[in-house]
Chain A
Amino acid sequence: MGIDVGKFMKNPEYEIKLTTYRDIFQAEALENDRFSDEYKKHSATVVMGKDGMKKFGLKTGDRVRLMNSYGSIVVELRESKREEPGGLAFMVNSPWSNALVSDETGGRGIPEFKNITARISLTKDEITKIESLIS
Chain B
Amino acid sequence: MVTCTGCALLCEDIEVVIENDRIKESRNACRRGAARLRGCKNRLAPSFNKMQTDIDTAIKKAAEILKNAKSPMLFGWSNSTCEAQVKGIQLAKKLNASIDDTSSFCQGLLIERVLKKKFRTCSLEDVRNMADVLIYWGSDAQDSQPRHLSRFSVFPRGESRQRGYEEDRLAIAIDVRESNTAKICKGHFYRIPLKGDREFILALMDALSGKVPKYDAKRILELAGIMKKAEFGVLFAGIGLTYSIKEDIDILVSLEDMLPNFHVMPMVGHYNMRGFNEALFKETGFVNRVKFEGKPVHDNKYAVVEALKAKSIDALLIAGSDPLSSLPRSVLPHLASIPVICIDPCVTLTSKIAAVTIPAAASGLECSGSAVRMDGKVIEMSKVVENSYLTDAQILTRLMEGF
Contacts and interface: CB of A to CB of B under 8 A. Distances in A.
B328 interface: yes
A85 B189 CA distance: 14
A33 B40 contact: yes
Contact of A35 (B326, B331, B347): B347
Interface string B346-385: 0111001100000000000000000000000000000000
Most buried by B among A24, A29, A70, A86: A24
Given A19-B194, A88-B176, A108-B300, A95 B349 contact: yes
Contacts of A106: 247
B300 A98 contact: no
B330 A102 contact: yes
Contacts of B327: 98, 111
Given A22-B143, A24-B32, A34-B349, A114 B243 contact: yes
B3 to A, nearest CB: 15
Interface string B233-273: 00000011001101100000000000000000000010000
A107 B300 contact: yes
A83 interface: yes
A115 interface: yes
Contacts of A82: 178
Interface string A95-135: 10011011101111111111100000000000000100110
Nearest to A68: B330
Interface string A15-31: 00101011111011101
B96 interface: no
B324 A134 contact: yes
A107 B40 CA distance: 36
Interface residues of A, number: 45
Contact of A28 (B32, B309, B325): B32
Contacts of A52: none
Nearest to A23: B143
Contacts of A60: none
B266 to A, nearest CB: 14
B330 A109 contact: no
Contacts, number: 141
A109 B348 contact: no
Given A31-B35, A34-B348, A110-B305, A85 B191 contact: yes
Interface residues of B, number: 56
Contact of A19 (B177, B301, B309, B322): B177
B125 to A, nearest CB: 25
A29 B329 CA distance: 21
A111 B105 contact: yes
A98 B328 contact: yes
B121 interface: no
Contacts of B305: 105, 109-111
A32 B38 contact: yes
Nearest to A94: B325
B304 to A, nearest CB: 8
Contacts of A36: 41
A134 B246 contact: no
B36 interface: yes
Given A31-B32, A108-B246, A86 B193 contact: yes
B349 A27 contact: no
B57 interface: no
B303 A109 contact: yes
Interface string B17-39: 00000000000001110111010
B140 interface: yes
Nearest to B144: A22
Contacts of A83: 178
6 contacts: A22-B269, A24-B144, A27-B143, A70-B330, A111-B330, A130-B349
Closest 3 A-B residue pairs measured CB to CB? A109-B303, A101-B328, A31-B35
Interface of B: 6, 30-32, 34-36, 38, 40-42, 104-105, 109, 140, 142-144, 146, 176-179, 191, 193-195, 239-240, 243-244, 246-247, 269, 289, 300-301, 303-306, 309, 322, 324-331, 347-349, 352-353
